[in-house]
Structure 1
Amino acid sequence: MCLLAKIVVIVGSVRSERQGIKVAKWIVEKLQDRGHQVSMVDPMDLELPLLDKMYKEMKSPPVKLQELQKIIQDADGYVPITPEYNHSVSSSLKNTLDYFLEEYFFKPSAIVSYSVGPFGGILAGNHLRQILAEMGMPAIPSQLPISKVKDVFDNDGKLLDENYERRIAKFLDEFEWYVSAFTKQREIGTPY
């Protein structure tokens, strides 16, 4: 059983007809159903400029960025939702992640990917796995790819493909195990 945790779901697209917001809201709901405190980070709301300086390098960060830093810092784990753009992650997701570094250390992440095609953004997820490891928030072994995302959710974001109910349950069970393990180890101490 997992400790109730603070989880941050990070939306990876700012496109006008983005499908990822439906995926993100569904993930938030599933995590809340399990009793977790969930924050959703949407780069569209943040309006972050292209990265010039990381948060720690800024003398007077904007209020929105200060609020985001607190959410990221206080989290026990992260669920980035990545679309697949040209076989990789979106620039908006990478830009949002790159504002921080030490805030992520020794906390797990769980990758959810999606695409309009049949492979569910698996290539973007593989790239994101490398990025997250380098940032200190290694991804759990499983990934939740959502293929043909437009067929999985309706226009209001309601799940249409019930097969994903079973898949999300197993995926979140695994994520919770890692969140619990990392939380207990952070209480003992970290290498640096």
Structure 2
Amino acid sequence: MVKIVGIAGSLRPKSYSHQALASATQRVEALGASVEILDLRQMQLPFCIGSDDYPGYPDVVRLRETVQAADGLILVSPEYHGSLSGVMKNALDLMNFDHLSGKVTGLISILGGQHNSNALNDLRIIMRWVHGWVIPEQIAIGQAWKSFGEDGKLLDEKLSKRFDQFAESLVENTRRLREVL
């Protein structure tokens, strides 16, 4: 079974990033993959200082071990000031090649204004740098408040279909890569 880890780079309660992650997770699970969510809102992670060891922070060990054991990742970040969130960047910086290399990764960005690809491009560069494999299907949700209902479900049919394609690509490409590695 394909094992996927989902991480949303937002600390806000009821964030659109977490709603998008839930939507992607449901679709990935429906395709037979298992998904574990690492909720950064519930974790105590220090600022990265480039160390291999963070004594007193068991959540760093949990983050690293969970991601290392996964076959793939879903990374969802709000876009702040034209890039990914500091929360997401810090979580990624707390890991290294041992944890991230070879991971098939799907990327989603959430924006309050018009959609663009800055956060997605930055996440793609980071994952390429650590030898991850980013799927070509990516999702940028602009004006996110218009995209989700009160129940957290996607409102737009076209966007919902993009999430379906995203999930299919993530699961299929993860299976393929597992077969050759």
Q: Which residue type is aligned with residue 10 of structure 1?
A: I
1:22 corresponds in structure 2 to 19
Q: Does 1:157 align with 2:152?
A: yes
**TM-score normalised according to structure 1 size:** 0.85
Aligned residue-pair number? 180
State, as a whole percentage, how many aligned pairs show the same letter: 27
Shift of 1:70: 2.1
Aligned equivalent of 1:89, options 84, 96, 114: 84
Question: How far is the alpha carbon of 1:158 from its aligned partner?
Answer: 2.0
CA distance in 2, matches of 1:158, 1:172: 16
Within 2, Cα distance between the matches of 1:23 and 1:80?
A: 10
In structure 1, what residue type is equivalent to 2:31?
A: R
Q: Letter of the aligned partner of 2:22 in structure 1?
A: K
- Say if 2:32 is the partner of 1:32: no
Provide TM-score, normalisation by structure 2: 0.90
Counterpart-to-counterpart distance in 2, 1:100 and 1:151? 34
Q: Deviations over 1:9-29 (max 9, x none)?
A: 111111356321111111121
| Structure 2: 5+ residue stretches without partners | none
User: More strand by proportion, 1 or 2?
Assistant: 2
Is there any run of 5+ residues in structure 1 with no aligned partner, and where?
187-192
**Root-mean-square deviation over aligned CA pairs:** 1.8
SS across alignment from 2:114:
coil
Deviation at 1:86, TM superposition (A): 0.8
Kept in 2, the 8 Å contact 1:107–1:183? The answer is no
**8 Å CA contact 2:23, 2:163 repeated in 1:** no
1:138 aligns with 2:133: yes
Give the structure 2 partner of residue 5 of structure 1: 2
